[in-house]
Amino acid sequence: MELLFASKYYTSYQSAKDRCYYIDFGHKTVKVSFCQLLSLRYKAKQLSTPEHIEYMLDHHDVTLLTFCDKEHLILLDTLQVLDFTELIQGTFAMMELRSVLTA
């Protein structure tokens, strides 16, 4: 596995052998396909909107992230949501950079 991006709390890896990606949440490592990674990018954009962050801060400070057909559930606080968003953005940036460098 090759390291793609590391944020404060999370790390993403790419496995050329398995043709998949791994996200390490610290307590759990999750294997995802590219389609699932795209879905996570969409969810990260939704979670990091100013309205959602404000709602989290005003009400309960946690959100539940479900992915991989609800096979995995991750509970995130506000800082972790922002860090997760950074991880997803960094992961896609590194994937794009690698594709440019290998072309």
pTM over 0.85: yes
Give the pLDDT of residue 30: 93
Residues of the chain where predicted confidence (pLDDT) is lower than 50: none
Give the pLDDT of residue 99: 78
Give the pLDDT of residue 53: 84
Distance of alpha carbon 31 from alpha carbon 81, whole angstroms: 19
Query: Which residues, 6+ apart, have CB-to-CB distance to 75 below 8 Å?
Result: 62, 63, 64, 65
